[in-house]
Amino acid sequence: MAARRLVVIGGDAAGMSAASQARRFKGPDELEIVAFERGHFTSYSACGIPYWVGGSVEGPDALIARTPEEHRERAIDLRMRTEVTEIDLDRQRVRTRDLAAPGATDAWTGFDDLVIATGARPIRPPLPGIDAPGVYGVQNLDDGQALLDALRAVEGGEQPRAVVVGAGYIGVEMAEALVQRGYRVTVVDQAEQPMSTLDPDMGRLVYEAMCGLGIETVREAKVTEIRTDGEGRACAVVTDDAEHPADIVVLGLGVRPETTLARRAGLPLGESGGLLTDLSMRVRGQDNVWAGGDCVEVLDLVSGRTRHIALGTHANKHGQVIGAGVGGGYATFPGVVGTAVSKVCDLEIARTGLLEQQARSAGLQFVTATIESTSRAGYYPGARPMTVKMLAERRTGRLLGVQIVGREGAGKRVDIAAVALTAGMTVEQMTALDLGYAPPFSPVWDPVLVAARKATAQVARDVEHTAGGR
Amino acid sequence: MAARRLVVIGGDAAGMSAASQARRFKGPDELEIVAFERGHFTSYSACGIPYWVGGSVEGPDALIARTPEEHRERAIDLRMRTEVTEIDLDRQRVRTRDLAAPGATDAWTGFDDLVIATGARPIRPPLPGIDAPGVYGVQNLDDGQALLDALRAVEGGEQPRAVVVGAGYIGVEMAEALVQRGYRVTVVDQAEQPMSTLDPDMGRLVYEAMCGLGIETVREAKVTEIRTDGEGRACAVVTDDAEHPADIVVLGLGVRPETTLARRAGLPLGESGGLLTDLSMRVRGQDNVWAGGDCVEVLDLVSGRTRHIALGTHANKHGQVIGAGVGGGYATFPGVVGTAVSKVCDLEIARTGLLEQQARSAGLQFVTATIESTSRAGYYPGARPMTVKMLAERRTGRLLGVQIVGREGAGKRVDIAAVALTAGMTVEQMTALDLGYAPPFSPVWDPVLVAARKATAQVARDVEHTAGGR
């Protein structure tokens, strides 16, 4: 019997990365690892579901990074279809229920270290009809399969109609998927513009592009009901002033941290309901309870506050950090700058740092600069337009955020700003960045540099025109 | 008459950017600007010449960012086809010769500020036959036009043969151009591998890819002669052990700073022959003489030494900085980290920071990590392989350099490392970078992060295995 036991709740990215990394540090003689997963899959890419549904990826197998068997080969005692129903911190144990054997009695498993990686649950507003057949979420592979089965059943006759509720990342990615399957797609969102992860002026560019792609985009619309037909099946999405017929309704409203167990155990939660941890991903106030992935809040390095950001790339990093900590190593997750990238058909959408509203609510004052440029030298074939918006702090000129909307070559340019934000650079410092230049890759001034130059000028102008600046 | 006069030597990127930027600061009443250009063109993209020659860009007009007329509209007294033959620092004047009027006497023009932007000249080793018809450089638009005319004259019959001497950036880009025109292409270089701007292990990947593209690549070959036919025209490139028949010979051996005038004027030059400046691009020891572009050495922020790097993107930045300085503003060019990106057909090649040899010669000790990954999530269509090599300083783990060879999506990832280098990040800090992730854009761990993780492990292993580390 091993000296210590690690119990992991949740078999997706954060939990299983933690388990695998802990295993690299400690062999089975030193550390027993037991992981509980209530679903049918481990370590899968939920982010890939829209592409599977859209038909550009073969699923679900391709989306699974590591199967239960592969985990077990690494001496991880992985128990599938087993739900943890209680965390007993005093006695250092968790209660579990075998979902595959409904009559079985609950069991208790003790732990020396506990990793909470319970993920997130999709937002599902309590609307009439929301639970009707024909309404689909896209949170996990089971959801993806169910949606795909339903889509295939509907396809074949006249062009079918799909309504996507929510125009955030999941919403626009699902809109793309449904367009690719030949659906007539309507996206309904309550915000002023789609992609409310962008400022409205940048979101408007997404709106215009979505219209250009033939996606009907209904803005500032509050969904009041999912109407059902005589058979109780969803047939339309009703808003305060319209009704949008639908053969299929897809919910793309984002997610909330799934922390029911943690809340019941009295663990500290942030404003979003996500667990609060220290920099080593240990739950605040706990010695041997760790948490990572979509169920935690992370430190936003720009605003100085914790936020909930559900992203597989963060979950993987959390897992690595936790596994090192549990294994007796040392690693930290210093925080995020809020980078995200997405696409809808050939439109690329990216942001990092703070939006205007986020900066204001963090107490920051700023200037903005928006520029248009191209992905390559203007004369080079395939040069595509992009718009870059930059926020810089007043007076200091510190970079606060960047948003990019464009075509091929636009999205990943946000990484330049993500690193600059992490380093605390000013926009003037950014103007001197030695970025890769050759005509097939960039104009002689990379679009991010053009934005930095304009932002630098705006900072100077602001100083000049402000009494305090003289 | 204006209060002061700025004289600019050289009408390409650095010189005309300086002139334009100075004009933004000072109107014609305050500052007279006289610029001399000995050639036929201003403000053109020499980097674009290979794509013009290859037929993917319409030239030469598309490559001209700003014509002489456009400059003149900004109240810049631009004198084309006028060569500066002497800089007289004592009397603050330059002597010029009108190349369009061969008999004309030289004239003197006084200056209050002088900008030296004399660019670079292609390396042309003193080999037998090097000046024969049929041997072409690709330094300026006139060269490009001459080469293009020659190529068109040769094309039409059997597949023509071209030999490119030099397998650096210009060499591989010209190889691509000639392949696109249907030539049978041989590239001859004296280095162990093509792209000696990469470490040999990474250069080998370029070699293999070039072979795969049907480009014959001859390594470790010293060119001894350009053989000429009975009419005195180049017909083969001779190396110490072979002869490579050629209908066209292209020289792609890189460039040296063109600083003949500066040397004669006694201005300070570095090891490469490039002018040495301070951070505001003022020539060292001078109050009112500035220099920028391909004729200067720049500070390498990683090695702490000055180097010569001929790149349009630096030249433009220099011009902006000089223009601000001349105009009474304030700006600096802090230095470079040595970023470069290129492509040959669909192979993307990028580097930033130091190569192994450069690090050694700067007195740095380091560990290396090389990884293979993909441009997108492995399951996403269009995911292409890439190899990332990372150098990290021993003990401190500071990033020293990154080299990337891959296909679509590989090249511009070097920008992540360029910003991290500028910020002085360690490879461990880089593992936490919040880079844009979505399946169409990146694997869940971006390739640069994968390399950073491996480099971090290497740094730790090195510490562990070194006596001083215990």
- For residue A316, the domain's CATH number is 3.50.50.60
Q: Please check whether residue B409 touches A, CB under 8 A.
A: yes
Tokens coding A445: 């001034």
* Inter-chain touch B423–A419, beta carbons under 8 Å: yes
pLDDT of B468: 55
- Which band of pLDDT confidence, cut at 50, 70 and 90, is reported for residue A453? very high
**Is residue A15, in this structure, part of any structural domain at all?**
yes
- Which band of pLDDT confidence, cut at 50, 70 and 90, is reported for residue B405? very high
Q: Which residue of B has its CA nearest to A456?
A: B331
Nearest to A436 among B312, B409, B412 (CB): B412
Tokens coding A160: 């079918």
**Is residue A38, in this structure, part of any structural domain at all?**
yes
Q: Please check whether residue B257 touches A, CB under 8 A.
A: no
Q: Which amino acid is at A366?
A: F
B47 is catalytic: yes
Q: Which of B280, B299, B326 is the last residue before a domain boundary?
A: B326
d(CA B433, CA A419): 7
Residues of chain A with Cβ-Cβ distance to B440 below 8 Å are: 51, 343
pLDDT surpasses 70 at A104: yes
Residues of A noted as catalytic: 47
Q: Which residue of A has its CA nearest to B383?
A: A57
Count of the separate structural domains present in chain B:
3
For residues A8-34, give the mean pLDDT.
97
pLDDT of B467: 61
pLDDT of A467: 62
Q: Which amino acid is at B336?
A: V
| Residue A77 phi, psi (nearest 5) | -80, 90
Q: Which amino acid is at A420?
A: A
pLDDT of A470: 44
Beta-strand pair B366-374/B385-393: antiparallel
Pick the range with the lowest mean pLDDT from A244-253, A285-294, A321-330, B54-63. B54-63
pLDDT digits (tens, 9 = 90+) for A126-152: 999 999 999 999 999 999 999 999 999
**Nearest CA-CA partner of B400 in B274, B302, B334, B329:** B302
- Which band of pLDDT confidence, cut at 50, 70 and 90, is reported for residue A381? very high
User: Mapped to the 3 state alphabet, what secondary structure does B192-207 carry?
Assistant: CCCCCCCCHHHHHHHH
To which residue do tokens 């002139």 refer? B19
d(CA B224, CA B57): 34
Nearest to A341 among B381, B437, B445 (CB): B437
pLDDT digits (tens, 9 = 90+) for A157-176: 899 999 999 999 999 999 99
The DSSP letter of residue B440 is T
From B47, B235, B295, B345, the catalytic residue: B47
Mean model confidence pLDDT for chain B: 96
Same domain, B106 and B178: no
pLDDT surpasses 50 at B36: yes
**Is residue B164, in this structure, part of any structural domain at all?**
yes
Same domain, B96 and B38: yes
Containing B98, the helix (H) or strand (E) segment is strand B93-98
* Residues sharing a CB contact under 8 Å with residue A152, sequence separation 6 or more, in sequence order: none
Same domain, A195 and A247: yes
Same domain, B437 and B364: yes
Q: Which residue of B has its CA nearest to A415?
A: B435
pLDDT digits (tens, 9 = 90+) for A28-87: 999 999 999 999 999 999 999 999 999 999 889 999 999 999 999 999 999 999 999 999
For residues A191-208, give the mean pLDDT.
96
The parent domain of residue A73 ranges over 4-121+256-326
pLDDT surpasses 90 at B32: yes
pLDDT of B2: 80
pLDDT of B470: 44
Q: Please check whether residue B21 touches A, CB under 8 A.
A: no
pLDDT surpasses 60 at B50: yes
Q: Using CA atoms in the order B309, B310, B316, B322, what is the torsion angle rounded to 10 degrees?
A: 60
Same domain, A371 and A282: no
* Inter-chain touch B423–A418, beta carbons under 8 Å: no
pLDDT of A419: 98
pLDDT surpasses 70 at A468: no
Same domain, A286 and A359: no
Chain A: closest CA distance from residue B433 (Å): 7
d(CA B81, CA B104): 13
Same domain, B294 and B349: no
pLDDT digits (tens, 9 = 90+) for B54-100: 999 988 999 999 999 999 999 999 999 999 999 999 999 999 999 99
Same domain, A238 and A290: no
Q: Which amino acid is at A351?
A: R
Residues of chain A with Cβ-Cβ distance to B300 below 8 Å are: none
Q: Please check whether residue B140 touches A, CB under 8 A.
A: no
* Inter-chain touch A339–B435, beta carbons under 8 Å: yes
- Which band of pLDDT confidence, cut at 50, 70 and 90, is reported for residue A248? very high
d(CA B385, CA B401): 20
d(CA A316, CA A306): 18
* Residues sharing a CB contact under 8 Å with residue B113, sequence separation 6 or more, in sequence order: B4, B5, B6, B7, B288, B289, B290, B326
pLDDT digits (tens, 9 = 90+) for A322-355: 999 999 999 999 999 999 999 999 999 999 999 9
pLDDT digits (tens, 9 = 90+) for B179-223: 999 999 999 999 999 999 999 999 999 999 999 999 999 999 999
What percent of chain B shows pLDDT beyond 70?
Answer: 99
How many C-beta atoms lie closer than 10 Å to residue A370's C-beta? Answer: 15
Q: What is the CATH number of the domain that holds A433?
A: 3.30.390.30
Tokens coding B435: 């880079």
Question: Which own/partner contact pairs does B266-274 have at CB distance under 8 Å and 24+ positions apart?
Answer: B266/B89, B267/B87, B267/B89, B267/B116, B267/B291, B270/B297, B270/B306, B270/B308, B271/B297, B271/B306, B272/B297, B272/B307, B272/B308, B273/B308, B274/B306, B274/B308
**Is residue B332, in this structure, part of any structural domain at all?**
no
Same domain, B433 and B380: yes
**Is residue A130, in this structure, part of any structural domain at all?**
no
pLDDT of B466: 84
Same domain, B115 and B260: yes
* Inter-chain touch B437–A342, beta carbons under 8 Å: no
pLDDT surpasses 60 at A469: no
Instruction: Give A227's Cβ-side CA count (13 Å radius).
Output: 15
pLDDT surpasses 70 at B372: yes
**Is residue A68, in this structure, part of any structural domain at all?**
yes
**Is residue A127, in this structure, part of any structural domain at all?**
no
**Is residue A126, in this structure, part of any structural domain at all?**
no
For residues B95-118, give the mean pLDDT.
95
d(CA A402, CA A335): 18
Nearest to A377 among B45, B339, B446 (CB): B45
Same domain, B114 and B55: yes
- Is residue B253 within 8 A of residue B120, CB to CB? The reply is no
Same domain, A99 and A140: no
Pick the range with the lowest mean pLDDT from A434-448, B45-59, B406-420, B442-456. B45-59
d(CA B339, CA A436): 5
Q: Which of B197, B223, B253 is the last residue before a domain boundary?
A: B253
Q: From start to end of B147-215, where are the E strands?
A: 161-165, 184-188
pLDDT surpasses 50 at B29: yes
